[in-house]
Amino acid sequence: MEKNIENVTMPPLSKLSYQLEYNAKMEQHFYFLMLHSSLAVLSHSLIAVAVDSFYYALIQHACGMFEIIGHVLENIGKNNDANFRLEVQRIDDNNYDAALDCLRRHLHVVEFVEQIEFLFANMFLVCLYSMILSSTVSGIQVMVNLDNGDSIVAPVSFYFAQFLLDYSDIPYKSICKRRWYYTSRKCRKIFLLILSRTMSPCKVTAGNIMPLSIENFGTVLKTSMSYFTVLRSFQN
């Protein structure tokens, strides 16, 4: 029996998506194994693409809502001048109604971002540690490219999280650079509520430990290089 197994001609492992150990049955069921391995790789890839696409769509929606809120805030008080009435009846104060609607929408978007954080925080924590481990293993490439920031490609999730950080600041900038002083006192109170909330930017974190951003991605690379240097010193 052992002699028959040794004489079996095994097909090249490079034809399969990943390495399989079936001994003599490999050649007999090669095409079925190849189909199974291909479907397995395809299913895993589709799951990863679906999850990432869902995450990117959520971030884009949140950034779009911040952009809309900022656009509305920029137009509040645009047509008023120095002769406006500081005390305006609420039923006639269109600026107050628009500012109140922006406040409500902003709270909804913030809650929406918190739900994104809840869904993806643990997954990004695993991805972060995996990236540190893989960067440590391939530390030579990290060390070569560390001084050349353009040659280091960050994961797309970091870029989209950075977009969220930037766009969440739009309502704050929109209020500051527009004619908020040509609005009623009630409207200004709404502006203060929005400003107080925008002081803490919306962000997606890895396990509530580290916010995802381009700056923190550079920190992860430096940490990986430090680990690689320590491991390399043990070999010497």
| 35 found inside a domain | no
pLDDT band at 102 (very low <50, low <70, confident <90, very high): very high
Determine the pLDDT at residue 5: 43
pLDDT band at 31 (very low <50, low <70, confident <90, very high): confident
Determine the pLDDT at residue 8: 42
| 3 found inside a domain | no
- What's phi and psi for 6, nearest 5 deg? -70, -30
Provide the residue range defining the domain that includes 138. Answer: 58-235
pLDDT in tens, 117-160: 888 888 888 877 776 676 665 554 554 454 544 444 456 777 78
Domains: count for the chain:
1
| 133 found inside a domain | yes
pLDDT in tens, 85-94: 555 555 567 8
Contacts of 11 (CB under 8 A, 6+ apart): 26, 27, 30
pLDDT in tens, 1-21: 444 444 444 444 445 555 656
Determine the pLDDT at residue 215: 81
Q: Are strands 205-206 and 210-211 parallel, antiparallel or unpaired?
A: antiparallel
| 5 found inside a domain | no
Distance between CA atoms of residues 59 and 64, nearest Å: 9
Q: Say whether pLDDT at 78 is over 80.
A: no
